Chains A and B, each alone.
Chain A
Amino acid sequence: MSIKVDNLFYTYMANSNQETPALKGVSLNIDNNSFVGILGATGSGKSTLIQTFNALLLPTCGTVTVDEFKVSSEKKKNKSIKELRKHLSLVFQFPEYQLFEETVEKDVAFGLKNFGYKNEDALKKAHEALLQVGLDESYFTRSPFDLSGGEKRRVAIAGIIAIDPDILVLDEPTAGLDPVGCQSIMKLVKNMFDNGKTIIVVTHDMEMVMEYCQKVFVVKEGQIIFEGSPNALFSVANEEDYAIEIPPLFLLADRLKKAGKNIDINKIHTSSDLIKELKEKRHG
């Protein structure tokens, strides 16, 4: 499924003396089965933007089109919102705060049951999702409140991926996790991408962006100020005020290239890519 955002405006507390315009004319396209990053400083409007994708926030003006679903400012026109939410799921920042059931498996199955699955089917799918996020049978019947922060987050994410949406939107999925936890969650997301899903992540982790994202959008004060591949962004980030920290790997590759090494910067996403590139060019 693809997303098309057309001239989108969103204002918090509209028509009061504390009006806060958060989005000011955003237009963008996200293709089917792409891995997209949304970047920008805090308060730039990233979370606001993604919440319009599944109609949690209705735009003040403009439209969001997700395949046949359309989200616009008029409440009445937004039919089948629930259907849309089945296809496009959003994992909030710190999703561990949305757990509430007595057991892990019940909590994961909760979303499925809302979308019309029978109890047994829901539990079966919940178990699959839990195994996918790396939580084995011993966790199924434990209380979600006795888990560690990282485990809770995995349960919450399992609750979303169990629904099996076509588009998965994650708001800072790795914030506050240890490196191993980050890695495992990103592997999981990558796996879903490889299975044909469309992935959208909001993040401040540029190394992750460099490794996984095909395309990034930079938001600043409610507007898109950059659109392109991560490495294209990093090569211009120095000159522009994007509030972005260039990852060391990119800096290294860039230095090497400037020092005369014949490497294709656009091919480098991880350190092993760089090594491979260096080796090939030496022999080639």
Chain B
Amino acid sequence: MASVVFGRFSPYNTFVHRLDPRNKIFMVILLMVMIFLRIGNWSTTYILCGVYLLFLIIIMLIAKISFLELFKSLKSMWFLVLFIFAIYVFLPATVEIKETGHVAFYINTYPIYWESFLQSGYIIFRLIMMIALMMLLTSTTTPMNLTYAFEWYMSPLKVIKFPTHEIAMTLSIALRFIPTLLDETERIQKAQASRGVDFNKGGLFKRFKAIVSLIIPLFISAIDRSEQLADAMEARGFDPKMKRTRYRILKFHLRDLISLLFVLILFAGVLTLFIFDKNGYPIDILNFFFNIKTKF
């Protein structure tokens, strides 16, 4: 249920899992930016997309992420994909496409352009890559490490007395309780189903009642739990104002340096291409390497 975008942590110990979470977050951001830079004509863009996809597949293989899991989280997106597709293809094209585009066919006299298909395909690709990257990050990094990394990134804000530590603590507790609450939901759902509640059928009022019978016990148990947790933390002398030491200290290893350099070089390359492309030196990979000229 929870693994729509945020994949569940998969307990392996691969190269990707061992990377410093701060480094991983940074690299994921770089990769996302890269994916959003559109370079050259359509054939070039799609070739680059292919390269990114290959790169992603290789990392996923290294990290032992199952492709099935990715497909599962993408499955819930099919409606959005269809929506994007319909909007781009059937709504009137942009001025740019109208001037330079190629008509695929006419519906009555309404032109549908090839470029609209390419555009929607590109947007959907970016969406899928974003989800895949997020999944890669969350399924190779424990929630704990993620919050440590966030806290580290927020640490400059400490100078303006921003409560970074408290926020990180709140975040990590919230993350910690997601699976617990999901289990609890399932349990209460089953208990109410035994009392004849049907969560999938019935009129509006019945459904409303069914949801109430789920939400109220859930809230009560969540409040109970938080009270207990607060007591337990207090009993162990937790004080949010105090400076705390860490059991686990994030370290930047050689493997982080290597992977970061690799991603940085990739990023620099793509950025250079992008700048050239935008400053009057259009990039066309097919033409440059293979001397093939395409319409797109």
Contact = CB atoms under 8 A, between A and B. Distances in A.
Q: Do A and B come from one complex?
A: yes
Interface of A: 15-18, 51, 54, 56, 82, 85-86, 89-92, 95, 97-100, 110-111, 114-115, 145, 159-160, 163
Contact of A115 (B8, B10, B196): B196
Interface in B171-211: 187-188, 190-198
A145 B220 contact: yes
Contact of A89 (B188, B194, B212, B217): B194
Nearest to A55: B193
Contacts of B69: 16-17
Contacts of B191: 90, 92, 95, 97-98
B254 interface: no
Contact of A160 (B194, B197, B221): B194
A92 B212 contact: no
B13 interface: no
Nearest to A108: B195
B68 A98 contact: no
B216 interface: yes
B14 interface: no
A248 to B, nearest CB: 34
Contact of B198 (A18, A82, A92, A111): A82
Interface string B219-240: 0110000000000000000000
What are the 4 closest A-B residue pairs judged by CB atoms, nearest first?
Answer: A114-B196, A111-B195, A100-B216, A98-B191
A90 B187 CA distance: 12
A100 B213 contact: yes
A87 to B, nearest CB: 11
B63 to A, nearest CB: 12
Contacts of A89: 194-195
Interface residues of B, number: 22
Given A17-B10, A159-B195, 16 more contacts: A15-B68, A16-B66, A16-B68, A17-B69, A56-B194, A82-B196, A85-B193, A85-B196, A86-B196, A89-B194, A90-B190, A97-B191, A98-B191, A100-B213, A114-B197, A163-B195
A58 to B, nearest CB: 12
Interface of B: 8, 10, 66, 68-69, 187-188, 190-198, 212-213, 216-217, 220-221
Contacts of A98: 188, 191-192, 195, 213, 217
A44 to B, nearest CB: 19
Contact of A110 (B8, B66, B195, B220): B195
7 contacts: A17-B69, A54-B194, A56-B193, A92-B191, A97-B187, A98-B213, A100-B220
Nearest to A90: B194
A217 to B, nearest CB: 21
Contacts of A99: 217
A168 B197 CA distance: 18
Contacts of B68: 15-16
A92 B196 contact: no
A150 B194 CA distance: 21
Contacts of B194: 54, 56, 85, 89-92, 160
Given A97-B188, A100-B217, A160 B195 contact: yes
